[in-house]
Structure 1
Amino acid sequence: MRVFINGFGRIGRSVLRAWAERPEAWPGLVIVGINDIAAPDMCAYLFSYDSTFGPWRGTVELWEGALVVNGHVLPLHRLADISSLDLAGVDVVLECTGRADTAEVAGRGLQAGARRVLVSGPSAAAEVTVVLGANEGMLRDQRIVSNASCTTNALAPLVRLLDQDWGVETGSMTTIHCYTGSQPTVDAPAADFARSRAAALSMVPTTTSAQRLLDR
């Protein structure tokens, strides 16, 4: 399976790290390229020094427009829209930009020639939303698939078991989430007053798409 990563942020870098650390654990899978609007040297730096997982213990270098990780040469592209790329022969575009909520954006990988797109988060454009351990049996020949949200991935398998064995009529859930890149590190103006406060010093009530996604 030939995989192209669109969006080299938290999820995109984590996918590459998991694959490059133990490629033998992913037989038949090869990552063939990366796209991100960040500069190549920044992509290499953020992959090399990860605040969550620690420093990369393998090799990383830039060579003729490519990121070379443990000897794997991965062409780097710097486009806001990947539909102009030639992705013929790519089996799956991992859509990790966090911006693929419309059919136009989510479908850009297909326009570029890839066979399928897997969106790393919730997407209204997805033909099916799949959570392993909950509803992977729904996966057929859909071309745009969503892997749902982190909260939904934590909740859906448990709800499935409860519903199968006893039945679920109503429910209530609470999720506690780390702060994200959309929150300021110091107090700053924001459309949402709660989100204007310094992230590390605040507990911010917010919404989740988990309830909507569970219905799918």
Structure 2
Amino acid sequence: MDKGIMVSGKIRVFINGFGRIGRCAARIILEDECFELVGVNDLYSCEQMAYLLKYDSVYPRLEKSITLTEGCLMIDGHRVALFCEPDPQNMDLGPLDVDVVLQCSGIFLTQKSNLPLIKCGAKRVIVSAPPTDSMPTFIYGVNHSDYADEEIISNSSCSANAIVPLFKIIDRYFGIDTAMMSMYHSYTVYQNILDNKHYSKDIRRTRSATQNIIPLMSSAAEATGYFFPHLKGRLYAKSIRVPIPSTTLYELHMQVNKKTNVEELNQILKQEIKSSYADILDTTDAPGSSEDYVQSPYSAIVNLPFTTVVGDNLLKISAWQDNEYGYAKRLVEMAKHIA
């Protein structure tokens, strides 16, 4: 099978795991002339891969010619190799000259489990989830400049990408003592559409995602704590799954060491976001709802009218995020940074 033709000067990306994040990343890559999508691997039919890339119930139809030929995906005449391989060590990536693998399977969460991709020919791997080992973890706009040529890294979670930049601002100006985070999160493919059995230890996942508000424990506290070691044991997070297909509303409550007020806090947020986090964070005064932030490219959009200060040092910040598209945008930017 013809695995593709090298185009000089472009970053050659292979996506392992063509689910919600993988396909969002593919859409972003296909609109960026710096990249070339050279291959995709997942364990479902090639026909469905092509169909779900073009048609999506959350995002607009992808206005590109997408066809299948000889086991490859043809996108506007460009050939993308397709694999259906559960074991990464069985994929020969050498002929594809892969610069970066976006590991979007949700399965391979350690350095060891991703090493086969390097051995099979890829130069770098970015895992689109928090790792379960000591894998170096980076968030674009927070610590990406600390990247030191590591072969396998994590891009952390969608929630950490939203929360950590905001925490970094607040900790710099006021010093965070403790924090609690609530995420009103759209349902995911790991939930049931109707009440049914579920592999999770949390029995609430057996309930219908489209009919219930379902509170679940979240790994966001641990993922956020990676970047703030002094807050170890002082962070708590809960994900409240709500019956919508996209976007998350974050409610961040922080006890800080310096007194402030709403006006000062919002001014600092606007100032820092404009000067240090342009194209990563944004602010809004608009009376928006979740649908207004679908396909937003930002990691978080701070809802300024909802900023609250109680008793001088208990802060609440609200922020919106398209937890799929906004996260995939940072994932692709990190790939550009390390390639």
Tell me the TM-score normalised to structure 2 length: 0.60
Unaligned runs of 5+ in 1: none
User: Secondary structure of the equivalent of 2:149?
Assistant: coil
Matches within 5 A, 1:91-170: 91-125=99-133, 127-170=135-178
Equivalent residues of 2:125, 2:153 under 8 A apart: yes
**Deviations along 1:90-143, whole A, 9 cap, x unmatched?**
111110101122334232311212111101111124621111222223211111
Unaligned runs of 5+ in 2: 1-10, 227-339
Tell me the TM-score normalised to structure 1 length: 0.92
**Deviations along 1:47-86, whole A, 9 cap, x unmatched?**
1211111322111000111001122210101100121222
* 1:50 matched residue in structure 2: 56
Q: CA RMSD for the aligned pairs?
A: 1.5
* 1:71 matched residue in structure 2: 77
User: Secondary structure of the equivalent of 2:93?
Assistant: coil
2:222 to 193, 212, 216: 212
Q: Which of the two has higher C-alpha Rg?
A: 2
How high is the sequence identity, in percent, across the aligned residues?
A: 37
Equivalent residues of 1:106, 1:125 under 8 A apart: no
Count of residues in correspondence between the two structures? 212
Tell me which amino acid in the other structure corresponds to 1:77.
Answer: F
**Deviations along 1:114-173, whole A, 9 cap, x unmatched?**
111101111124621111222223211111111111111110000011112221121111
Structure number with higher strand proportion: 2
Equivalent residues of 1:83, 1:108 under 8 A apart: yes
Equivalent residues of 1:100, 1:125 under 8 A apart: no
Equivalent residues of 2:103, 2:126 under 8 A apart: yes
Distance 1:204 1:157 in 2: 27
Equivalent residues of 1:127, 1:143 under 8 A apart: no
Change in Cα spacing, 1:150 to 1:31, as seen in structure 2 (3 Å) is: same
Distance 1:13 1:31 in 2: 11
Equivalent residues of 2:106, 2:129 under 8 A apart: yes
Of the structure 1 ranges 146-155 and 96-105, higher mean CA displacement relative to structure 2 is found in 96-105
Tell me which amino acid in the other structure corresponds to 1:139.
Answer: Y
* 1:182 matched residue in structure 2: 190
Distance 2:50 2:106 in 1: 20
User: Secondary structure of the equivalent of 1:176?
Assistant: strand
Matches within 5 A, 1:30-45: 30-45=36-51
Change in Cα spacing, 1:60 to 1:126, as seen in structure 2 (3 Å) is: farther
Tell me which amino acid in the other structure corresponds to 2:32.
Answer: P
Please say if 1:199 is aligned against 2:209: yes
Equivalent residues of 1:179, 1:199 under 8 A apart: yes
User: Secondary structure of the equivalent of 2:44?
Assistant: coil
1:17 to 27, 31, 34: 27
User: Secondary structure of the equivalent of 1:50?
Assistant: coil
